[in-house]
Chains A and B, each alone.
Chain A
Amino acid sequence: MAKKPVPFDVPVLGDFTDTPAVKPGAMSHSQPFVAKAPINEALGYPGELVDNWQQVGVEKLGELVKGSRALRVYLDSCVKCGACTDKCHYFLGTGDPNNMPVARQDLLRSVYRRHYTLAGKYLPGLVGAKEFDEQMLDDWYKYFHQCSQCRRCSVYCPYGIDTAEVSMAAREIMDTIGKGQKYCNEIIGKVHKLGNNLGLPEPALADTLEGLEEDVEEEINVAVKFPLDVKGAEVLLVTPSADFFAEPHIDGLIGYAKVFHQAGISWTISSHASEAANFGLFIGSRDNMQKVAMRIREAALELGVKRIVFGECGHAWRVGYSFLNTLAGPFDFLDSRYPVPQHIVEVTHDLIQQGRLRLDKSANDDKRVTFHDSCNVARASRMGDKAGGQFTLPRDVIRASCNHFFDMPADTIGEATFCCGGGGGLLTDDLVELRVKGAKPRMQALKDVNDQHRITHMAAICAICKSQFSKVFPYYGFEMDQIISVHQLVGDALVFPVDPG
């Protein structure tokens, strides 16, 4: 069934972002690989499409609506005003009308109407109610995997309807009837089994961290530690496993380690919870999300730490900030002087405020930097104690670490930020065309700031964003190494006196 990659036209960046004309079916060929039986079964789902999938799917939909006020209200409330129609980066990049948030929701809403509303039962044609048939399932699989759950549409909806909730529900239903997505489900299986998305076993992780210690010491002549499973450490660092060896992520990890080292904060990584990412969110599975989240609680208890700190990862921060307390709390066994969990940017920001970090901005004088607000950080979480801290804190940290910082246009950052194009469980090679096209609005904004300020680097605080940009930058004429971690800037700017050890 594996399809050969089809060549596609890379969008051309113009002088400004224009809203494309509707092109029906423009992305109807795009769908990710379907998970094989063992992958689904490992998560407790049927291996293959069950015989009575229509019935099971419709029943599951009813069950989900009963359990989620958001879903119930969102399915009832849409007035088709069109406010969201030009807000999704996948629509802006492809013109496929099913990538308009309202149309994407309608794929599910039409089934809900058919089976759970009076009007849809008796007058389906009038209100756009439709049967959950093969064509519909096909459309669900394609288009609910063209949503990165970035919530940009929810900012603009007059009722706050969040397509992410709808797309999570649809994916949960598809999993329940045996049509899971390979990329997400395979990864969740690895987390359950080995503790991280990459399937990196403990000895390999220990080796990697040891190697890092040697590299860093060789480079800056300071014995910065990368501790693993150290009991009694103050901080448990939970970070995306990409930080352990992917570029540019790893330089971010080095940055965190240098921050902890200079501030004299003892810290550790846990091999049990060696992954911040929680793909349970992407597939809308509360059970899987909770199971993945519980590892963090277990690790914190086992290691006897006082604080939990998350590394640079967008959706992980959503789960950490917004859900961890609910899913795995209460965390009354931790130091109550610190929020649980904390973001590494919050930690660094606090230390800068307290004057506990020595930063030499000129170390980054070769860089002219812009910052990409990651969607889950921007619209589904916060940093610090004020609304909007998720925008100001990272920028404060960047400005404290380099002299040349420039923002992209105002309508493409902050709460209006564009997704990188690879979030929500779409960061897979079988969706490259979608990822490239979905990145277009962000690339346009990058081009704008680049035209004005000759940007050399875009900094980000999300592992998915970093991987995605490394992949798509070359399609748009940028270099893959122009994407960096915020904590790479910090790490490079930190000044260490001659190490006494």
Chain B
Amino acid sequence: MLISAILYLAAIICVLGVGRKVYQYAATPAPLKIPTTPAPTTRAGVVWRMFREVVFFDSLFKASKFTWLFGWLFHAGLFVALLCHLRYFTEPVWGWVALIAPLSKYAGLAMLVGLTGLLGRRFLVDRVRTISAPSDYLMLLLIMAIAGSGLLMRFVWHTDIVAVKQFARGLLSFDLNALSGSSLLFLHLLFVAVLLLIFPFSKLLHAPGLFFSPSRYQVDNPRERRHTGGQASKSANSAVSQEQKNG
């Protein structure tokens, strides 16, 4: 029961906190056009630029192949692992979730490999060591603990996943069940709760932040369309007029 309460609390704080931040980003004016050029000259071009940034980490690829490789492995692993976890929340399990289920162990491993590379870089590269605060190490260790505990349950100390599913479904329907699993599972969920809790107050805000980064989302058309910027209060993209370019 305790873990249910913790998870609820963490989820609420995460959603409200990130929601507040997103609102703040959207409501803050972007007074000037500052896309990093060369930048797309059309909205469609910007969508493509953002897609490449979000999915392939384009800029990071240009910057450092090492960081890109480990960073991308981690994020891709995390993405797949999250999707695989849908099996605990859907009944019957959605077809495509069942289909990708076998990937979950590779996803977890990819996360760990990626995180280890990123952590190693923090210790070994003098420049990165210089800029690392304690929270930067702890963040990596926390996510490693989440991935590690998950993998241990998968490979070493198996957990009764039927019971896990019952617990997860219960959370969704507010029909609370006691968590009848190992203490490893308890830890796994506790770490997840901690991650959710700190999300809105930490550098994890880079996830929503990217979508509001003027150097990336702005269209390069200041001569064609007069940018006024002050009323950019609805969405990240409202700073950019939807009207047709008049060339």
Partner-B contacts on A (CB < 8 A):
19, 21-22, 24, 65-70, 72-74, 76-87, 97, 100, 102-103, 106, 117-119, 125-128, 151, 154-162, 165, 286, 321-323, 325-326, 329-330, 339-341, 378-382, 385-388, 390-391, 415
Contact = CB atoms under 8 A, between A and B. Distances in A.
A340 B138 CA distance: 51
Interface stretch (B52-60, B92-100, B103-111): B52-60
B59 A158 contact: yes
Given A83-B64, A325-B226, A339-B223, 11 more contacts: A68-B29, A72-B25, A73-B212, A83-B63, A86-B127, A100-B127, A156-B60, A322-B32, A323-B33, A340-B223, A391-B38
Contacts of A22: 126-127, 130
A62 to B, nearest CB: 12
Contact of A97 (B130, B198, B206): B130
Given A86-B127, A160-B216, A162-B215, A76 B209 contact: yes
Interface in B149-176: none
B32 A85 contact: no
A341 B202 CA distance: 42
B247 to A, nearest CB: 8
B228 interface: yes
B222 A326 contact: yes
A245 to B, nearest CB: 31
A155 B62 contact: yes
B34 A159 contact: no
A127 B136 CA distance: 8
B44 interface: no
A379 B33 CA distance: 12
A80 to B, nearest CB: 5
A19 B37 CA distance: 25
A83 B36 contact: no
Interface residues of B, number: 64
B2 interface: no
Nearest to A156: B63
A119 B138 CA distance: 14
A165 B201 contact: no
Contacts of B220: 382, 387
Contact of B131 (A80, A127, A162, A340): A80
A97 B127 contact: yes
A326 B125 CA distance: 43
Interface of B: 21, 24-25, 28-34, 36-41, 45, 53, 57, 59-60, 62-64, 67, 71, 118, 121, 125-128, 130-136, 138, 198, 201-203, 205-206, 209-210, 212-216, 220, 222-224, 226-229, 232, 239, 247
B137 to A, nearest CB: 10
B216 A322 contact: no
Given A128-B133, A155-B62, A72 B24 contact: yes
B59 A100 contact: no
Nearest to A103: B131
Among B57, B127, B220, the one with the most A-chain Cβ atoms within 10 Å of its Cβ is B127
Contact of B132 (A80, A157, A330): A80
A364 to B, nearest CB: 28
B222 A81 contact: no
Contact of B34 (A72, A81, A126, A322): A322
Contact of A77 (B59, B130, B201, B213): B213
A390 B41 CA distance: 13
B228 A76 contact: no
Contact of A85 (B127, B198, B229, B247): B127
B37 A159 contact: no
B60 A154 contact: no
Given A68-B29, A321-B223, A154 B57 contact: no
18 contacts: A21-B126, A68-B29, A70-B215, A73-B25, A76-B206, A77-B205, A78-B206, A79-B203, A81-B128, A87-B63, A103-B130, A128-B134, A154-B215, A159-B209, A162-B36, A380-B34, A382-B38, A382-B41
Contacts of A321: 222-223
A82 B32 CA distance: 27
Given A76-B205, A387-B40, A387-B41, A69 B67 contact: no
B135 to A, nearest CB: 5
A7 B64 CA distance: 35
B201 A118 contact: yes
A64 to B, nearest CB: 11
A79 B33 CA distance: 24
B34 A82 contact: no
B59 A156 contact: yes
Contacts of A119: 135, 198, 201-202
B201 A325 contact: no
A128 B134 CA distance: 8
Among A66, A76, A127, A415, the one with the most B-chain Cβ atoms within 10 Å of its Cβ is A76
Contact of B213 (A74, A117, A127): A74
Given A22-B126, A77-B203, A70 B131 contact: no
B213 A73 contact: yes
Contacts of A19: 127
Given A69-B232, A81-B71, A329 B226 contact: yes
A127 B201 CA distance: 10
B63 A84 contact: yes
A260 B109 CA distance: 65
A322 B232 contact: no
Nearest to B230: A67
A158 B206 CA distance: 9
Given A102-B131, A387-B40, A72 B32 contact: no
A494 to B, nearest CB: 28
Contacts of A67: 28-29, 31
Contacts of B213: 70, 73-74, 77, 159-161
Among A82, A85, A378, A415, the one with the most B-chain Cβ atoms within 10 Å of its Cβ is A82
Contact of A390 (B21, B31, B37): B37
A84 B212 CA distance: 20
B37 A378 contact: yes
